């Protein structure tokens, strides 16, 4: 028996993996300027949770004595890393309790007691070692350490995170002010003549860095139809915020329509969703000042997520996450993990069935959910080592091969719709998946007007029992090659696979295998 649909599958290997053409330059930030032997990128890449200033004419990289100004160094350092509620984030471990401030300083004569007659009156004055005070947002943190003629990497300034200013809304920028007052003690020294101030010491500062650690936030990927409703009504984002202190963003999309056509195996609509997702992820990265995310996909969203991982493996995608001394900082967009809820990783016979009825020609999304598409896609779709965890479910909680009114509660196909009893439809789909491996157009030899010829017929390939959530089988939902975790829930349908019980399972999986909440 031959299957018409398989011809198109050859194209999948070509279309997957052809994204390198979209490659952008990777992480970029201003180059270090200055004389200290240690650049800031020895600490971390600037941007996100590392705010740096390196280039300020007449301020940084200048050998400076005290003068009439209160502070010889006075810099405003932007912080655009949005972490939501600060206290909530710290309490849940999503944000470090402390901030560390780095200041490489040259020629801080902290250990030399000078002698001299600064006011020329013949009487030796009481003078002091170099005492350079460091302030954050007007509050004294301590003094710079160092020695004569040497660069000293000052990294001892550790302050509670509450002292640092954070943006209160995504897209906002907070300003933190770091000030250094040079040779304060000699500036205020009372000399033998009664005069005040003796110009003794000078110092030079190369750059100032403010470092904290924040956990990566979540991007929710919506299922078939792209509506954000399912996540918005699930309480899922709120649950993760309460439990982990981490904010999230729901990414929706349009339904890919028939203009994409249905060429089995090309994954045109999955790719269109993934491209849209990457675009939205870049926007979110710019708004929150971080290009690292964990992705959570429902239904088709999980497939879009795998395509996005494939695209990120094939080429670099970057997002501007902030600025440093007025220059842009770009980070590589990184999806740290993917968790899918009820995603048909091996396709679904529901799509096959509708495919044989012409629906795939109208809705390209259906086309990309067919089983034969994923038979081959799973061989080519690589995730670049990103951990993927999957959750599937069997809606038939009592195993009587019938989904009753309770078992379809919260499902996309409810027991009743506008006064019509639709329970039979849910049961039709449950049995369709339960009993069949695939539904495809095939051919059979028939005699037409006395002439033997191949005629198209719909072929049901029977399956071993295939428990499912009325849309996706447990096996398909857990069908990602090399998943780090596979979970099968009992008594959850395609809608309730996002419910509170499922969410607490997800949280456990996310924390134990996907690095959720890690800073
Ligand atoms: Ca004197
Ligand atoms: Ca000095
Ligand atoms: Ca510098
Ligand atoms: Ca049942």
Q: How many angstroms does the Cα of residue 126 sit away from the middle of ligand 1?
A: 8
Cα 464 to Cα 142, 392, 432, 438: the distances in Å are 71, 17, 12, 12
Cα(160) to ligand 3 centroid in Å equals: 26
**What residue ranges of the chain have pLDDT lower than 70?**
1-24, 255-265, 360-363
pLDDT confidence of residue 362: 62
**Of the candidates 390, 389, 408, which has an alpha carbon nearest to the alpha carbon of residue 491?**
408
254 Cα to the center of ligand 4, angstroms: 34
Q: How far apart are CA 97 and CA 89, in angstroms?
A: 9
Q: What percent of the chain clears pLDDT 90, i.e. is strictly above it?
A: 74
Shortest-distance ligand to the CA of residue 108:
2
Instruction: Calculate the alpha carbon distances from 403 to 333, 347, 406, 433 in Å.
Output: 42, 21, 8, 13
Distance 142 CA to ligand 1 centre (A): 29
d(CA 483, CA 302): 13
What is the per-residue pLDDT for 278? 97
Among the bound ligands, name the one nearest to the CA of residue 112.
2
Ion ligand 4: protein residues whose beta carbon lies under 5 Å:
396, 398, 400, 402
Confidence at residue 356, expressed as pLDDT on a 0 to 100 scale: 85
For the chain, which residues make up each domain, given as ranges?
4-24+214-514, 49-211
How high is the pLDDT of residue 6? Answer: 40
Q: How far is the CA of 192 from the centre of ligand 1 (A)?
A: 5
Enter the CATH code of domain 4-24+214-514. 3.40.50.1820
Q: Which ligand is nearest to the CA of 467?
A: 4
Contact criterion met (CB below 8 Å) for 64 and 206? no
Strand intervals (E) in 357-429: 388-394, 416-417, 420-421
Reported CATH class of domain 49-211: mainly beta
- Tell me how far the alpha carbon of residue 195 lies from the centroid of ligand 2, in angstroms: 22
Q: Are strands 451-462 and 436-448 parallel, antiparallel or unpaired?
A: antiparallel
What pLDDT, on the 0 to 100 scale, is given for residue 360? 66
Give tens-digit pLDDT for 451-499: 888 888 889 999 899 999 999 999 999 999 899 999 999 999 999 999 9
């Amino acid at each position: 028996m031959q299957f018409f649909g398989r011809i198109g599958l050859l194209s999948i290997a070509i279309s997957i993996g052809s994204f390198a053409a979209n490659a952008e330059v990777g992480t970029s930030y201003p180059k270090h300027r200055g004389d200290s032997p240690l650049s800031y990128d020895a600490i971390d890449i600037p941007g996100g949770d590392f705010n740096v200033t390196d280039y300020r004419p007449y301020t940084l990289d200048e050998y400076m004595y005290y003068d009439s100004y209160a502070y010889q160094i006075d810099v405003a350092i932007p912080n655009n890393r949005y972490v939501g509620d600060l206290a909530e984030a710290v309490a849940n471990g999503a944000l470090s309790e402390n901030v560390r401030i780095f200041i490489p300083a040259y020629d801080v004569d902290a250990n030399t007691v000078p002698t001299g007659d600064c006011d020329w009156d013949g009487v030796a004055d009481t003078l002091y070692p170099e005492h350079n005070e460091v302030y954050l947002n007007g509050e004294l943190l301590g003094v710079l350490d160092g020695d004569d003629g040497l660069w000293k990497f000052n990294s001892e300034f550790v302050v509670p995170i509450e002292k640092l200013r954070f943006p209160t809304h995504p897209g906002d920028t907070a300003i933190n002010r770091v000030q250094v007052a040079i040779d304060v003690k000699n500036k205020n020294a009372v000399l033998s003549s009664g005069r005040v101030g003796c110009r003794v010491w000078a110092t030079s500062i190369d750059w100032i860095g403010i470092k904290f650690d924040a956990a990566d936030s979540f991007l929710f990927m919506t299922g078939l139809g792209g509506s954000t409703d399912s996540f918005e009504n699930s309480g899922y984002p709120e649950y993760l915020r309460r439990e982990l202190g981490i904010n999230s963003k729901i990414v929706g999309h349009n339904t890919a329509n028939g203009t994409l056509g249905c060429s089995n195996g090309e994954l045109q609509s999955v790719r269109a969703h993934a491209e849209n997702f990457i675009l939205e992820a870049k926007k979110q990265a710019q708004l929150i000042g971080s290009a690292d995310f964990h992705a959570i996909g429902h239904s088709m969203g999980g497939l879009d997520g795998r395509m996005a991982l494939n695209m990120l493996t094939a080429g670099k995608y970057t997002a501007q996450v902030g600025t440093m001394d007025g220059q842009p900082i770009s980070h590589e967009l990184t999806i740290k993990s993917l968790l899918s809820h009820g995603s048909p990783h091996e396709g679904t016979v529901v799509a096959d069935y509708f495919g044989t009825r012409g629906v795939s020609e109208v809705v390209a999304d259906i086309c990309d959910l067919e089983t034969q598409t994923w038979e081959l896609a799973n061989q080519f779709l690589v995730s670049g080592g990103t951990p993927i965890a999957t959750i599937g479910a069997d809606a038939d909680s009592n195993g009587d091969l019938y989904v009753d009114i309770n078992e379809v509660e919260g499902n996309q196909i409810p027991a009743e719709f506008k006064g019509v009893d639709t329970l039979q439809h849910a049961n039709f789909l449950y049995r369709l998946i339960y009993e069949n491996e695939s539904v495809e157009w095939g051919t059979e030899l028939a005699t037409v007007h006395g002439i033997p010829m191949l005629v198209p017929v719909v072929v049901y390939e029977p399956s071993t029992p295939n428990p499912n959530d009325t849309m996706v089988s447990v096996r398909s939902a857990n069908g990602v090659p090399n998943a780090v975790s596979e979970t099968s829930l009992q008594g959850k349908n395609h809608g309730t696979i996002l419910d509170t019980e499922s969410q607490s399972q997800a949280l456990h999986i996310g924390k134990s295998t996907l690095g959720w909440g890690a800073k």
